[in-house]
Structure 1
Amino acid sequence: MNHLLRKNYLGIDVSKLWFDVSLLPIIDHVKQPIITERFDNTTSGMTAFKAWLKSTGVTLDQHSLLVIENTGVYHRLLWGFCSKYNLPLYIGNAAHIKWSLGITRGKSDVIDSVRLCQYCYKQSDELKATPALNPVFMKLKDLMTSRSRLVTQLHSTKNYIKELQCSNDKVLQAILEKAHQAAIEGIKKSIIQIEVLIEQIIKDDTAIYKNYLLIKSVPGIGHLTALYIICCTNNFASKVTGKQLASYAGVVPFEHSSGTSIKGRNRVHKMANKDLKKMLHLCALTAIKYYPEFRQYFDRKKAEGKNGMLVLNAIRNKIILRAVAVVNKRQPYVNNLNMAA
């Protein structure tokens, strides 16, 4: 009996309560009708999903590929399922997938899953499976997110108290400050507790700790930026390049011209991780202030008539490229300027 050549392309639209699956089987290079189904986004739903995959002939190996959009939290059960059973999974950026589909009409959970399924089929040669879910890494990422939110709340409360000084009398101001003081102290305490847990996780995980130390060796990069880069890259499990990470951070300038009518200067793309970009901006300012290599570069470019923000962006780009380089080479950063001196 001849074995049929079969490929399975799946697209899943994930929501908080359920997920919709669309399956496109390709048998002997011939497309079969797309099959759709809905499952609860729960542990029992994953069990039913596994049984459905078996009943539809989907193999949990390299002959299958599943595509989902990054939803932050809601797709984690699916990610864990695929990691456990070695089902190749690609977690894509929602905006990138949407733009690649071109003009579309109509929207529902089922329609979105069908579109993801079609995207999976068309882009399968270029899609690289996302690394398996690392529970330790996800714990670190959740702690970093929680810390960031608490810091935002702390700044918001402090700013609110300062703004009231312009309109309140001293007695009322004292009452409000006292009322908010417990909240402020509570947030500070929570931030400290989270930072202790983060530090413990880093030290307990050898792979994360080594990359953390390597990234911190780059001039300008501090504790939080090193951790954030690790979270953004899944601890470099996906082998991200320096150019890819710089583009993700929004510090890579792209050409902006067309024929003779549009001749704009090179510009960075507005679609970027703005938190990482802000961190890199502070890293660049620190590098200019404390490291002669970057100070001299900044002064030289300014003397050539370059715009200050353009030079700062170039330094942000240099910093992120070097962060990836030290991780890939497994060697800490070496300041060639100091060696020459």
Structure 2
Amino acid sequence: MAFYKHHAFSSFLMFLLFPLLLQFQFGKSELQLNYYSNSCPKAEEVIKQEVTKLYHEHGNTAVSWLRNLFHDCVVQGCDASLLLESVTGIESEKASGRSFGMRNFKYVNTIKKALEDECPSTVSCADVVALSARDGIVMLGGPRIEMKTGRKDSKESYASVVEEFIPNHNDSISSVLSRFQSIGIDAEGTVAILGAHSVGRVHCVNLVDRLYPTVDPTLDPDHAEYLKGRCPTPTPDPKAVLYARNDRETPMLLDNYYYKNLLSHKGLLTVDQELASDPATLPFVEKMAADNGYFSEQFSRAVLLLSENNPLTGDQGEVRKDCRYVNAS
């Protein structure tokens, strides 16, 4: 009788532990808060100090950190593959058309150097991407998001599949929703994370299709005239700095003006404006336009999900010494 009781208890214990074992198998549970508390206690503070200093020197770096997180984590997972340069055997993801307009990568190296001075070969570039985005969001007036750490760096680039993972600026909202859903972010979260378009700018190359040869009828006519002033030709030079701000009211604040602009037909990209016309997303747009606190709450939730998408952990990958290159073997 005792045997059967013991067997039943053992089976019950395995039932409870099975989900945990699965988590370890897929590397999810190895991300943890304060991962570097013993190996590099000042790591997060060093990143915060560097992000703050860079923001005061180059305000647009904070926008870059947020965009880096999206471009890195959406493509195969949060593993700093985005940061790899093109060298023999590796084609950089930064060379993709989807990465057009991305900048400030050199300042990632500034942050990494400060970490290497503090704790050599300890803090991964993937965690630099995540934590710089977290601290950049705060610099832009957004919410403080508690992020887990412990990501490792990829030894390969995924340049050949970037366009499969990162939506194009003129993709339909249904395809964008599907893309985000595949990494666990629902429609509400997708609407929130696109609120990152509240900050930064859009290059004319990506919006002239809505202006020429005729103006998109879903675009506010007065706003269209302003955009034509910013982008006076249907064939802008990709190398020229020709752009329009996503949000003219609070261009460097991560807030809900983005949604107010959408409801006023002032979204810059096709995918932006479709948020305000698709019945699956319009209710969330309306609610976020009316309540900045609700936007911040949902934005935090979505960014956290994004930051934990399929990371390399444990013995997977490596900790690069230089974020631009795989470690020498």
- How would you bin the TM-score normalised by the shorter chain? under 0.3
TM-score norm. by structure 1 comes to 0.26
> When you count helix as a share of all residues, which structure comes out higher?
1
Bigger Rg over Cα: 1
> When you count strand as a share of all residues, which structure comes out higher?
1
